[in-house]
Amino acid sequence: MIKITKKRIMILFGLIIILISCFLFVHFNSLNIKLVGNNNVLEVGSAYKEMGAEAFYGSKDISDKIVIKNNIDINKIGSYEVEYSINYGNISKKIIRKVKVVDTERPNIVLNGDEVVYLTIGDVFDDAGVVATDNYDGNLNDLVEVSHNIDNTKEGTYEVIYKVKDSFGNEVSVSRKVIYRKKINITKYPQIAVLNYHFFYDSELGERCNESICTDVKDFKEQLEYLKENNFKTLTMEEFRSWMYGEIDIPEKSVLITIDDGGNGVGKDNGNKVIPLLEEYKMHATLFLVSAWWSPSNYESDYLDIESHTYDMHLEKVCSGVTRGAKMLCSSYGDVINDLKTSISIIGSNTAFCYPFYAYNDSVIKAVKEVGFKLAFVGGNRKVNRFNDKYRIPRYVVYKYTTIDEFKKMVN
């Protein structure tokens, strides 16, 4: 018979405590919870993607019993916690994911006005400034730092640098070139012809064109021959713009060739009459393209500049009480702006614009200026000088019945 002593009772009690502790330890630690993924940094304003957590009791997956509490504000910079908790078998556990909402995006800064400004020595540089915005701070215009080394008494190219930093230290800068040139004597200045063509056909191939604004290839070739033999300079649009703005002089025997629309005979995929002749005679022209109708890639050539004739507003008989019912004249100001911006984005230039059907009004001219066009062309059948209104530049229309003698009068 085993004698029960106090010592033995204590030992037995200790063993029981150990067994209970082991059971509780095994039981408690049979429940495990852990984070999934590493979504700990979030850009302000972006969506938070919940990666979740996993929970197991022994080998049993009980992840569906996890309760998630989330106080993240994606629109506010700061540190947040996502709590994942679970209660199973009278055991409760939780785990925390720490999430930081940060701003690493640089502000956006856009130049007002031209990227390159041409001035005459002595002129004061009138800074058009910039518009600076940030995805978190909003308008930063008051924080823009401007620096430059302009000396308006000396000819040269200067740089104006605009720099801005948001409240989280993200910085961005843009620059504008300011070019000072010597004053050009414009007391004597040429008056030049701007020629306006539309469609082309080849009668020798049996082709026909019933519109008066069509030009036979043989006539166009004869006109180019005359320009070449008489040493005329055919201007690029950039050369014409620079001349109109008093930045350069041009020979008195200069001419600007323009083509409207981009239709029959102009592009490589719709007749291809013009480009081969321009390249053969090494003469420049500018196409005013309706960019909703044809792609600029249809007209690629070193001798053919492409400018805007609207994206999709070359439509007539749409409006009442305006010139030719031109759509542009009765569309809302916002629609006109959007159309012009679309055209610019496709063509990649806002140097020059041509009004559809030569029709314009004050609202249209305002829109053309607002999107940054430097020049705009109409009709008028008279020569151009650099003192003309830059947004009503006249052109001679070349018709099917225009004779070579009439052509010579236009350009001379």
pLDDT band at 3 (very low <50, low <70, confident <90, very high): low
Tell me if residue 126 falls in helix, strand or coil. Answer: coil
pLDDT of residue 2: 55
256 vs 123, residue with greater confidence:
256
Fold entry, domain 34-102: Immunoglobulin-like (2.60.40)
Q: What is the mean pLDDT of residues 102-109?
A: 90
Give the residue with greater pLDDT, 25 vs 368. Answer: 368
Mean pLDDT, residues 5-33 taken together: 64
Q: Closest Cα to residue 376, out of 356, 393, 395?
A: 393
CA distance 405 to 65: 93
pLDDT for residue 279: 96
Is residue 367 scored above 80 in pLDDT? yes
Is it the case that residue 21 has pLDDT exceeding 60? no
**Residue 25 in this model has a pLDDT that exceeds 80:** no
CA distances from residue 248 to 154, 183, 186, 242, 306 in whole angstroms, order as listed: 18, 10, 10, 6, 22
Instruction: List pLDDT tens digits, range 197-209.
Output: 999 999 999 999 9
What percentage of the chain exceeds 70 in pLDDT? 92
Instruction: Give the HSE-up count for residue 52: Cα atoms under 13 Å, Cβ half-sphere.
Output: 7
pLDDT at 59: 84
| Residues 326-349: tens digit of each pLDDT | 999 999 999 999 999 999 999 999
**What is the model's pLDDT at position 324?**
87
pLDDT band at 38 (very low <50, low <70, confident <90, very high): confident
Helix axes 362-370, 333-347, angle to 10 degrees: 40
**DSSP-based three-state secondary structure for 38:** coil
CATH number for the domain running over 193-411: 3.20.20.370
Is 9 a residue whose pLDDT tops 70?
no
CA distance 357 to 38: 61
Q: Is 193 helix (H, G, I), strand (E, B) or coil?
A: strand
> Do the domains spanning 34-102 and 108-181 agree at the CATH topology level?
yes
Q: What is the pLDDT of residue 330?
A: 94
User: How far from the centroid of its chain's Cα atoms is residue 228's Cα?
Assistant: 38
pLDDT, greater one: 128 or 402: 402
What is the DSSP code (8-state) at residue 192? B
Question: Between 121 and 221, where is the model more confident?
Answer: 221
**Rounded to an integer, what distance in angstroms lies between the CA atom of residue 116 and that of residue 343?**
22
Give yes or no for residue 376 having a pLDDT over 70: yes
What does the pLDDT read at residue 339? 97
Looking at residue 195, its amino acid is L
Percent above pLDDT 90 for the chain: 62
Beta bridge partners of 96: 83
Give yes or no for residue 12 having a pLDDT over 70: no
| pLDDT given for residue 8 in this prediction | 64
pLDDT score at 407: 96
pLDDT at 280: 96
Q: Residue 181: its pLDDT value, please?
A: 83
pLDDT tens-place string over residues 111-167: 887 788 888 888 899 898 999 999 888 999 999 999 999 999 999 999 999 999 998
Q: Look at the domain 108-181 and name its fold.
A: Immunoglobulin-like (2.60.40)
pTM for this model (two decimals):
0.60
What gap in Å lies between CA 37 and CA 54, rounded to an integer?
11
Mean pLDDT to the nearest integer, 257-280? 94
Domain ranges of the chain: 34-102, 108-181, 193-411
Q: Pick the closest to residue 309 from 257, 350, 276 (CA basis).
A: 350
